[in-house]
Amino acid sequence: MLDLDLQSLKDQLTLQIRNDKRYVYDPIRHKYLLLTPEELVRQLLIAYLLTRKGYQPKRFAVEKQLEVFGLSRRFDILIFGPQLQPFLLAECKAPQVPIDQDTFEQISRYNLPVKAPYLLLTNGQATYCCRMDYANRQYHFVDELPALP
């Protein structure tokens, strides 16, 4: 498990209240989104990747649709490498949702058409990242998030 200390980045988020509802600004999609527990985790991870890992905003795709086994699904975050090849696929969950076998299976299914070499799962408290070994049909947990190539 990685210790990203995502909660320490809360002060970097831009919040707004409209009609008694809280919204958070998404710097990738350039718009305010309803602040749900899952959205908070997603925005904290985006802040971490931008500020602590130096990932460039132009390399992000956030909440885009993809097809898995003929079904329409939506991934949370996909980071692209220098030649715009998938690099890291991330799935964010609300803090009360455990990171377990079901969530690993979900991101694995989402990765079938994507084929990203790194997968990341977080609920804001527990974070796991693994490197895919497609040749041997295995994955290996890593001790830190990879730097962009």
Ordered DSSP codes for 4-39: --GGGGGGGS-EEEETTEEEEEETTTTEEEE--HHH
User: Along the chain (149 residues), what's the average pLDDT of each consecutive run of 10 residues?
Assistant: 96 97 98 98 99 97 88 93 96 97 93 96 98 93 94
Helix (H, G, I), strand (E, B) or coil at 90: strand
Q: What is the CATH number of domain 6-141?
A: 3.90.1570.30
Distance of alpha carbon 104 from alpha carbon 35, whole angstroms: 25
Which stretches of the chain are DSSP H helices? 37-51, 101-114
Distance of alpha carbon 82 from alpha carbon 71, whole angstroms: 29
Q: What is the pLDDT of residue 116?
A: 98
Q: What is the pLDDT of residue 64?
A: 93
Break the chain into its structural domains and give their ranges. 6-141
Q: What is the pLDDT of residue 139?
A: 92
Query: Cα dihedral sign for 73, 68, 108, 112?
Result: negative
Q: What is the pLDDT of residue 32?
A: 98
User: Using an 8 Å Cβ cutoff, are 39 and 46 in contact?
Assistant: no
pTM for the structure as a whole: 0.95
Q: What is the pLDDT of residue 73?
A: 85
Q: What is the pLDDT of residue 20?
A: 97
**Alpha carbon distances (Å) from 3 to 37, 83, 105, 122, 139:** 19, 29, 22, 10, 20
